[in-house]
Amino acid sequence: MTASPVAVVDLDLPGPRISRHLYGHFAEHLGRCIYEGFWVGEDSEIENVEGIRADVVEALRALKIPNLRWPGGCFADEYHWMDGIGPREQRPRMVNTHWGDVVENNHFGTHEFMRLCELLDTEPYISANVGSGTVRETSEWVEYLTRGGEAPMSELRRRNGRQDPWQVKFLGIGNEPWGCGGGMSAEQYVALARQHATYARNHGQNKLCRIAAGAADDDYGWTETLMKHVTRGLGDTSPQDIYQAISFHYYTFAGTWADKGKAADFTREEHWTTMRKAQRVREIIAGHCAVMDAYDPTRKVGLALDEWGTWWNVEEGTNPGFLHQQNTMRDALVAAVHFEAFHDYAERLRLANIAQTVNVLQAMVLTDGPQLVLTPSYHVFEMSTGHHDAQRLDVRFAPGQEPVREVDGETINTLSLTASTKDDQLTLTAANLDPDAAQQVTVSLRGRTIGQLQGRILTAGDVADHNSAEAPERVAPQPYRHAQLQHTPAGQQLTLQLPPASYLSLTGDLHDHLQPQA
């Protein structure tokens, strides 16, 4: 057991709100995410609701998914939405050139996706086609989705079985335009983005948050170009934001883009390199925030990390274009590292989307025919729902006490710790990133008192452990009964014992200090 570091949390000084949308998800037409994942069809022997797989919906509802991004990803910029409406047997087929070069039948389209969002009780995040689509296509899709009355697209929607418009909050203006979304320069893209965003109208009571497709990793120049053009003049009126948020993408892997490393067969050195690269997301968020602050000091425009997660070499014997990978305790720890960074930049970071929800990359659930397996990443998301829309509580370590180690010539943290408060309840989550050594941490709680604690812990025999159909609960949350809470002159002191490679979630009611009796 290493020496116990000390962290301080002022319970009476809540900070910015942690948007629930930082815990968003992503469903692309990629591999078996949509077909065989979410969609099995109404004639399937697998239980379904109007073709949507029932056990997947049931599992995901426990995550309280705040938003779901669709149809891509790279797929979005070759997807023409009108091919996915109307009677399914009459819909044209298309080739998914990005992901496996497979032909799909467009049976899962706008109506099916919006029904999925209703079943999940989540906000749809629609990605418009900028790479190969038209401004008119974007405009008419928004009208089809959100406009009532007698408009042409409203009438078309009614003929296809939906009387009332849907509510759509998030609209992505393309995806990765510097790469699969068109191979554009930032200047080329921003001109198109302004056109698409201009004609993506707010209809009736529906108000869009238009999200400009942003940078890869730390391309801060791309963000600066977007920020230079974020507003337009409206004659004698005040300038108006043409888009309300800017995105970027960042993936974590141990190796290189050509050889990312294996998902479940890795060395301790590869584990620590993965933790180092995961923690780099904090630096990259800070860099984009700094650029945006220079142009938007009041932080009207949001930052969105709408693709993140681990990306490993595909599992042997699977289609390399389907991006199917196993999901271990290491992936869960990567998620924990990201959550802490998201909370710390909640003033600017408004939305994030794990890639992806089912059967692809860092998935929440894996399906194989009628079987469904919950991954370690699923459990970390479920254990963190107390942070949704809560107010951040700053966590600070005493000087020189933050647990660190050297990895690849850099200093990284070996412990992730974050806290929040909502409705007089504390949520505290902690991750021990060390795969071999337990850690103890002491948290000094000040300003308010906490009542009885309830906790669960996710851990494994080894950081490479994962769940399977044969062992579906090898990595699953267990009750945690090792929290030691003591009163001190300064408040309360919480001592936590964290096993190797573990994630802890604690909750407890907060109370004001009792007034001394006269």
**98-102 contact pairs (CB < 8 A, 24+):** 98/30, 98/72, 98/73, 98/74, 98/180, 98/321, 99/28, 99/29, 99/30, 99/31, 99/74, 99/75, 99/321, 99/322, 99/323, 100/31, 100/319, 100/320, 100/321, 100/322, 101/321, 102/321
What is the DSSP secondary-structure string of 139-191? HHHHHHHH--TT-HHHHHHHHTT--SPPP--EEEE-S-TTTTTT---HHHHHH
As a three-state string, the secondary structure of 423-468 is CCEEEEEEEECCCCCCEEEEEEEECCEEEEEEEEEECCCCCCCECC
* Structure tokens belonging to residue 491: 């408040």
CA distance 97 to 178: 17
Instruction: Establish whether 340 is a catalytic residue.
Output: no
Catalytic residue among 137, 307, 340, 382: 307
Pairing assessment for the beta strands 94-96 and 102-104 based on DSSP bridges:
antiparallel
Q: Which of 140, 143, 176, 382 is catalytic?
A: 176
- Cβ neighbours of residue 298 under 8 Å, at least 6 residues apart? none
* Residue 126 structure tokens: 């629609």
d(CA 397, CA 409): 23
Q: Is 516 exposed, middle or buried (0-12, 13-18, 19+ CB in 10 A)?
A: exposed
176 in active site: yes
**DSSP per-residue letters across 5-56:** -EEEEETT---SB--GGGGEEE--SSTTSTBTTTB--TT-SS-EETTEEHHH
Active site residues: 176, 307
